[in-house]
Structure 1
């Protein structure tokens, strides 16, 4: 066999021995996820997941950023930008205060149970001081009378905040899943929708989207808006993962259990009781 024939034989054996799965590993991974390189992806659930190739929200004349976590899916970033501009077009000089979105790669953010996959954003309320717009440097709790706590003479601007909610729910490029907000503010916003004679379908949609979460997170100082998973992203989960807690006995019950166990152990070591036959009468 000539050297050239021998070389071809060796190459053929090597090629035959390589697993097809190894050759096409990268290709199969792309097919399974349905994503192309560089595509923004929300992976997992809002409270357990990550963000890939997200977009950064930038400050502008209609957006004031007060937190450092500014990354999200392009759908979310675009929604915030468009809604801020729409409200400013309707109410000149309006500036939307924006808190946390997600980290660049998603994951845990201190103080948040969600915000992990680029689909959540904390949005400050539009506020008024007198008849003028008030742009806050932080979120402020709003009481049942619509007054902001900690800042004198500042109140919740119901008209502009309803315009913001309306913009979110009417957006054609992103679909809002939830708007977390305190019940007393939800009631105020729905009343405003009725006052301005918003379409019944929109009011129904707002009533369904706006919810107050668990008691520990009332959201009476900001909106928390969450969008749906983008179409075609099968590894994105719309709803949070829920954990089941294992019930454990209280310390008193644990002690009782140990005591009972001890007595049972002692009892097991005692000799069996002798059964005496009854005497005949």
Structure 2
């Protein structure tokens, strides 16, 4: 192994979780989790998807949250939930894909209503989720149901949840349905490529002093309209792309997969190399 390997190569190849109480360390895009637990591949109201990725690990709080949400979903018109990527066995940067999902506090939940909760491993590799957004991106399509809305609202109303990343069209649909009312709407954050799943992020668990919520609080970003106005503005930009203000790229941005192990928090360096 190189003297200072890429962190993704170390975290992506660890032999198992650390034997410790669950602790989230660092930040969502530069962190790790000690004492992660595995979401069982199959339960009464859920199935973990894409098992070959081995990303059905998380902080115990997240595993408990996912199971409880799947149980709630079974009372809201779904059989349960298909669960996408959570974290690796010790969190950290992944060999491919996500920039976040590093502290065991993130989970992707498919928009596809389960047709079966007894899929084989092979079926879970080949089945895909569905988009709930129209091809023009300006609204939801016929795949969107009241059950989707109820499940996402249930997740957003959980005090452990910091934010939920969804497509702007989904947020607008939920704002419209609720008359822009409800503080929980602040937690719904319009994000590209979140039309076929919604991404739940938990707050740092109590007592996890090495864990940092780096983003500004949702309420501070959303203003007084619960972020509904901003989501509608995003759809207006989609309808007329020439009106979108030009942003300035951050010249110092680096994708988390580029970090060396020495650049990770000291505690994460220890978690990555613990035997």
Q: Give the structure-1-normalised TM-score.
A: 0.59
Task: Please tell me whether residue 236 in structure 1 is matched to residue 219 in structure 2.
Answer: no
Give the aligned partner of residue 76 of structure 1.
Answer: 62
Corresponding residue for 1:146? Answer: 140
The 5 Å alignment of 1:22-33 reads: none
Q: Aligned partners of 1:123 and 1:180: how far apart in 2?
A: 11
CA drift at 1:106:
0.6
1:246: Cα distance to partner? Answer: 4.8
- Counterpart in 2 of 1:245? 251
Q: How does 1:87-102 map to 2 (within 5 A)?
A: 87-91=73-77, 94-102=79-87
Q: From 166, 171, 188, give the equivalent of 1:210.
A: 188
- The gaps in structure 1 that reach 5 residues or longer are 1-36, 128-132, 148-154, 248-281
Whether contact under 8 Å (1:158, 1:192) holds in the other structure is no
Contact 1:126-1:161 at 8 Å conserved across structures: no
Query: Secondary structure, in 3 states, of the residue corresponding to 1:64?
Result: strand
- Is 1:164 matched with 2:164? no
CA–CA distance in 1 between the matches of 2:150 and 2:70? 10
Q: Distance in 2 between matches of 1:212 and 1:69?
A: 24
Task: Return structure 1 stretches of 4+ with deviation > 4 angstroms.
Answer: 133-136
Which whole-Å CA distance do the structure 1 matches of 2:71 and 2:150 have between them? 11
Matches within 5 A, 1:32-181: 38-58=20-40, 59-67=42-50, 68-91=54-77, 94-109=79-94, 110-127=96-113, 134=115, 137-144=127-134, 146-147=140-141, 155-171=142-158, 175-181=160-166
Structure 2 residue aligned with 1:151: none
Matches of 1:108 and 1:87 in 2, distance apart?
30
Q: CA RMSD in A?
A: 2.7
SS at structure 1 position matched to 2:148: helix
Q: Please point out which of 224, 241, 249 is paired with 2:199.
A: 224
Deviations 1:69-124 (A, max 9, x none): 00111111111111111121242x52211100000111112110001110011111
Q: Which structure has more RCO (C-alpha within 8 Å, separation ≥ 6)? A: 2
* TM-score normalised by the chain length of structure 2: 0.60
Cα deviation 1:239-271 (Å, max 9, x = unaligned): 269x96259xxxxxxxxxxxxxxxxxxxxxxxx
Are 2:112 and 2:130, in contact at CA under 8 Å, matched by a contact in 1? no
- Indicate the structure (1 or 2) with the bigger Cα radius of gyration: 1
